[in-house]
Amino acid sequence: MSASQRPDSAPELPQTFVPAEVEGKLYERWVERGYFTPSGKPDATPYSIVIPPPNVTGSLHVGHALDHTIQDILVRRRRMQGFDALWLPGMDHAGIATQNVVERELAKEGLSRHDLGREAFVERVWQWKAESGGRILGQMRRLGDSVDWSRERFTMDEGLSKAVGTMFRRLYDDGLIYRAERIINWCPRCLTALSDIEVEHSDDDGELVSIRYGEGDASVVVATTRPETMLGDTAVAVHPDDERYAHLIGTEVDLPLTGRRIPIVADAHVDPEFGTGAVKVTPAHDPNDFEIGRRHDLPSLVIMDEHGVVTAHGPFQGLDRFEARPAVVAALRAEGRIEKEVRPYRHAVGHCQRCDTVVEPRVSLQWFVKVQPLAKAASDAVREGRITIHPPELANRYFSWVDNMHDWCISRQLWWGHRIPVYYGPGGEVVCVGPDDEPPTGEGWAQDEDVLDTWFSSGLWPLSTLGWPDETPDVQRYYPTSVLVTGYDILFFWVVRMAMFGLYAMNDRGAADSVPFREIVLHGMVRDAHGKKMSKSFGNVVDPLDWIDRYGADATRFTLARGANPGSDVPITEEWAQGSRNFATKLWNASRFALMNGASTALPVPPAGDLSSADRWILSRLHRLIGEVDASYDGYEFAKACEAIQAFAWGEFCDWYVELAKTSLTAGGAAADATRAVLGHVLDGLLRLLHPVMPFVTEQLWLALTATGEAEPARSLVVAGWPTARTEYVDPAAEAEIGALQALVTEVRRFRSDQGLKPGQRVPARLAGIEGTVLAAHESAIRTLLRLEVPGPSFSASASLPVADVRVELDTAGTIDVAAERKRLEKDLGNARRERDQAERKLGNAEFLAKAPAPVVEKVNKHFATAQADVARLEAQLAALPS
């Protein structure tokens, strides 16, 4: 190639980047070429992440999009760094949600699951799953998830089901699974027990009813929002130190409407400051009351059936619980038992996550996991540093939950799910069957009707997806997984269960390698720009698929990642998505310029002595950026990494270097070739740094940048090397030189703007004193950037602007209203001086400095420095105005 010519074979890019035209094609290319499948090379360090399995009924919502974007950033970077990277995808069978979906489909046909029977119904669910389930998997492809589809798993797969059966049998044999009557969350609509995470609480309007139990001095008043449950009261409880009721402890009182007498017991759980300080105790229908009942050996009277219908004998029998409520209040009022007027009361009420029915706590015969030893192991793993939580301050929330866990109800009254592997015999025999055991047969033997909580199988996810309980090559290589990425809102429900099961199942590996993951990265919730939670009722819900359609997957991902730091909620707006799309467009246009002017990765970067100061500056800034981005990613500070990359790409590369490069490219010769090499090197490094966040646009640009014109080899940024910060390129002198140029240009541009000069308006100017400074070599570039003409012989300066060692003298005669401009600047100067003086007084106040927090003092210091700089700038502008 001639030194003064760009290559004729320079690849061309379309004038604009249209995401929809390239995203699908690029993704399928990646999958077909197996780029997402780990190499398995023994000399490569394993790096593995298992995806939090979305529900088979689900679709991609903004929370998924954030979670998947973060994981993809981590995996893509590690893959480029040469790790043997595995991101394993899959789905959860979502017992309640999926059964509800299929039951609704049956209802349209006038059928119920009972009309089909269990076996036929389960077959119908599998059919639905094959035809309609898993829509989210295709949506993950649209987002750009670089998961290994060859390892896709489903919690009801044969292998995963084997893992579930093995874990159940081991826990059962070790006495950690038992069956008992205990209080649980019950959905009267879904007719099943619920886990805590399947209960959503909302503040609902209710009524607070005050009821007098007993007569005269031996009576006590209790307040309740659920008066219908009084039919199942078996005690009244007061605090043991409450002197108001000391004389009543140990006595009995009449329970209205029932003809029963119940004891008054002392229990430290009662808050004497709440209400009357006395509470009704209904052990069968309230979790706190259940615990009080156990401590005092109280009976548990179930007064409702599984549909929420009252079963207690009497006038309320057969009424729905919400019909019984006003009926009970009316009966109490008729007997004179309502102590005060019933008053409105807003309180937290649990609802079924799937159908929104109000949950009914009730005593029920269920299967439970005895969690105490498992929870202690999960707690110790974090306390001892075998599992690290990011951010570390969320570890206390982890401990507050795991150190106080109640036994876990794992049985569900459903047909879709892993059926409990326990068989009951005709003589009362109970046999637990493992996956390799033959179940007992013969007359009178029957399997337990319930299925396991979905969280039981998803708690095994890091194990089962890799092939446990078999010692598969994947278990040996990729367990423990490297990182778990999930929202802090399911820290307790899913993360803790995985920690418990992983440590229990793999305890023969030794403490360090039995954990299911070495690090937990907890991100926050996606919120709107005002910090408000996204809700359909608020009208602020973002559909990521809509954004992908309109702005592209890259813009959607960048918008989410630019707000994501450990533990912090992520604010987003559509304006930011538009800005992210504009960023992609800016990068596209700068890359087109570079390619049209012969930028190439094939050209070696010349020695520093053969480079212009602008070339050396941008190389220095790139290699500083690489180190900064690496540090941010290693600390899971995705927002910080994105901010740094965008600031470099837009502010330094596109807005400054591309403009400065035009001087060398126009000059031709060796200087032009050097700049082409630097353009190629810097653009290559920038695209690699940005690829994990914006994979599609960077891939398209990189393929064009590295094209050779020959038959296309198997090239892709997906498997290209991650850039390495090279200290030999760091050049403080070049940074100082170009920094001086930027300061001068920025100050003169601000002056032009303040004077009302149009950006394209050319103005005669003299750069006095530039000779002998580092800026002398840049005079041509400065004039080009600032639209400054070389002055003629009749030049007369009407404005003078000092910037460092250079005085920029401009002839602005006839372009501005000097009097109006002077008046405006004097007003701004007065405001700036007041701001400066106010901050200066605070900083001179010893009492303020002694008492104010350090961040507040720092803020005032910054305010003072800004105001002082504004004063200097405005004084210089006033001085530059013609008399």
Annotated binding site for ATP: 536
Contact yes or no for 620/729 (Cβ under 8 A): yes
Which whole-number Å values give the CA distances from 428 to 181, 432, 446, in the listed order? 17, 13, 11
Which whole-number Å values give the CA distances from 431 to 117, 175, 424, 446, in the listed order? 25, 14, 7, 10
The two structure tokens encoding residue 58: 């689900």
Contact yes or no for 621/649 (Cβ under 8 A): no
Which residues sit in the known binding site? 536
Using CB atoms within 10 Å of the CB of residue 320, give its burial: 0 to 12 exposed, 13 to 18 middle, 19+ buried: middle
- Interatomic CA distance for residues 243 and 239, integer angstroms: 9
- Interatomic CA distance for residues 349 and 199, integer angstroms: 9
- Interatomic CA distance for residues 331 and 337, integer angstroms: 9
The neighbour count for residue 13, using CB atoms within 10 Å, is 17
Using CB atoms within 10 Å of the CB of residue 589, give its burial: 0 to 12 exposed, 13 to 18 middle, 19+ buried: middle
Q: At what angle do helices 135-143 and 19-32 cross, to 10 degrees?
A: 110
Contact yes or no for 92/458 (Cβ under 8 A): yes
What is the DSSP secondary structure assignment for residue 358, as one 8-state letter?
A: B
Residues linked to residue 222 through DSSP beta bridges, in sequence order: 211
Using CB atoms within 10 Å of the CB of residue 422, give its burial: 0 to 12 exposed, 13 to 18 middle, 19+ buried: buried
The full 3-state SS of 136-156, as one line of letters, equals HHHHHHHHCCCCCHHHCEECC
Contact yes or no for 761/815 (Cβ under 8 A): yes
Q: Which of 633, 624, 484 is nearest to 565 (CA)?
A: 633
- Interatomic CA distance for residues 564 and 641, integer angstroms: 10
Using CB atoms within 10 Å of the CB of residue 271, give its burial: 0 to 12 exposed, 13 to 18 middle, 19+ buried: exposed
The overall longest dimension of the chain from CA atoms, in Å, is 117
Contact yes or no for 211/222 (Cβ under 8 A): yes
One-letter amino acid of 860? V
Using CB atoms within 10 Å of the CB of residue 858, give its burial: 0 to 12 exposed, 13 to 18 middle, 19+ buried: exposed
